[in-house]
């Protein structure tokens, strides 16, 4: 089955700095890579996702890059703000046609942005 | 986005009792339901996958006789934790998926926090 490794487990940055979280996956059949932000006691919220036919995707301060050959993908947050503080999870799974498959999650990264 | 509800949002029960968690997809037909659990300070782990009208498929290490899943309709799936024990205390989250491709992302329910005393 799929195995997703996520690093670092904790990340502390100053407001305005950039934050980078990296994940690797093992199953070359995975083609869907979402990133989730989870605040304490709440459900994961999708912040950005990328499919395997794309190498990079950007949405304002958030970007994700994917290297299919190396089987790794990264989340980049620029100009961090205190409200970005949360736990971030990467995941890998399949999304074929009109259906989505199960997701395998990374271990999570606790991001703290200091004012 | 999709509207997904879970009930109850939290529950405290005594060891040995059974607890039923409901997950409803309110605005689309969930042909597939994924059930995840998340222990404190850990990641989400898939427990089982169910397709409407079929028996659930359980991940390795998840006891099918302990975690009963029913997916009898396209809008409702239930997870019953039978003979709950303190080690079953966790955050249980459902995630419906649709073959119709109504949405371009996978959604999660708000979760149910189970505490077994």
* Beta sheet of B4-7, edge-to-edge order: B4-7, B19-25, B76-81, B67-70
User: What is the DSSP code string of A19-65?
Assistant: EEEEEEE--TT--EEEEEEE-TTS--EEEEEEETT-SEEEETTEEEE
Per DSSP, A16 falls in state T
Tell me the pLDDT band of B9, cut-offs 50, 70 and 90: very high
- Does A43 contact B106 at a Cβ distance shorter than 8 Å? no
Residues 6+ apart with CB under 8 A from B41: none
Calculate mean pLDDT across residues B21-32.
88
Give me the total of CB pairs closer than 8 Å, taking one residue from chain A and one from chain B: 52
CB nearest B97 (choices: A42, A46, A99):
A99
Kindly report the three-state secondary structure assignment for every residue of chain B. CCCEEEECCEEEECCCCCEEEEEEECCCCCCEEEEEEECCCCCEEEEEEEECCCCCEECCCCCCCCEEEECCCCCEEEEEECCCCHHHCEEEEEEEECCCCCCCCCCCCCCEEEEEC
d(CA B93, CA B44): 9
Calculate mean pLDDT across residues B4-30.
94
Instruction: Give the per-residue pLDDT at B15.
Output: 97
Q: Which residue in A has a C-alpha nearest to residue B109's C-alpha?
A: A43
Share of chain A above pLDDT 90, in %: 83
pLDDT tens digits, B59-107: 999 999 999 999 988 899 999 999 999 999 999 999 988 766 555 677 8
d(CA B90, CA B21): 12
- Does B45 contact A34 at a Cβ distance shorter than 8 Å? no
A80: helix, coil or strand? coil
Contact at 8 Å (CB) between A7 and A22? yes
CB nearest A44 (choices: B31, B34, B44):
B44
**The tokens 């994924």 sit on which residue?**
B34
Residues in chain A within 8 Å Cβ distance of B44 = 44, 89, 103, 105
Could you tell me which residue, A114 or B3, shows the higher pLDDT?
Answer: A114
Instruction: Give the per-residue pLDDT at B30.
Output: 86
A3: helix, coil or strand? coil
d(CA A33, CA A110): 19
Share of chain B above pLDDT 70, in %: 94
Instruction: Give the per-residue pLDDT at B104.
Output: 60
Contact at 8 Å (CB) between B98 and A26? no
Instruction: Give the per-residue pLDDT at B97.
Output: 85
pLDDT tens digits, A48-107: 999 888 899 999 999 999 999 999 999 999 999 999 999 999 999 987 655 567 899 999
Q: Which candidate in A43, A54, A93, A104 is best for mutational testing of the B interface (most B CBs within 10 A)? A: A43
Contact at 8 Å (CB) between B43 and A107? yes
Instruction: Give the per-residue pLDDT at B22.
Output: 97
Could you tell me which residue, B75 or A6, shows the higher pLDDT?
Answer: A6
Q: Is B99 on the interface with A (CB under 8 A)?
A: yes
Widest CA span in chain B: 41
Residue (of B70, B112, B116, B74) closest to B94 by Cα position:
B112
Question: Is pLDDT above 60 for A43?
Answer: yes
Q: Is A40 on the interface with B (CB under 8 A)?
A: no
- Does B49 contact A102 at a Cβ distance shorter than 8 Å? yes
Q: Which residue in B has a C-alpha nearest to residue A91's C-alpha?
A: B44
Residues in chain A within 8 Å Cβ distance of B105 = 34, 46, 49, 100
């Amino acid at each position: 089955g799929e195995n997703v490794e996520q690093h670092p487990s904790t990340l502390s940055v100053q407001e305005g700095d950039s934050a980078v979280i990296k994940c690797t996956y093992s199953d070359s059949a995975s083609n869907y890579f979402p990133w989730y932000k989870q605040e304490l006691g709440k459900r994961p919220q999708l912040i950005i996702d990328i499919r395997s036919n794309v190498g990079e995707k950007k949405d304002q301060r958030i970007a994700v890059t994917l290297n299919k050959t190396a089987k790794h993908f990264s989340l980049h947050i620029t100009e961090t703000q205190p409200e970005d503080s949360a736990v971030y999870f990467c995941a890998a799974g399949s999304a074929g046609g009109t259906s989505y498959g199960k997701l395998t999650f990374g271990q999570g990264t606790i991001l703290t942005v200091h004012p | 986005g999709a509207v997904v509800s879970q009930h109850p949002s939290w529950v405290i029960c005594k060891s040995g009792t059974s607890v039923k968690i409901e997950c409803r997809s309110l605005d689309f037909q969930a042909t597939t339901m994924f059930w995840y659990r998340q222990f404190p300070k850990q990641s989400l782990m898939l427990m089982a996958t169910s397709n409407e009208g079929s028996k659930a498929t359980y991940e390795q290490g998840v006891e099918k006789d302990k975690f009963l899943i029913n997916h009898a309709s396209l809008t409702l799936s239930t997870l019953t934790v039978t003979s709950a024990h303190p080690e079953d205390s966790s955050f249980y989250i459902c995630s419906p998926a649709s073959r119709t491709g109504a949405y371009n992302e996978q959604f999660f329910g708000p979760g149910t926090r189970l505490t077994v005393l």
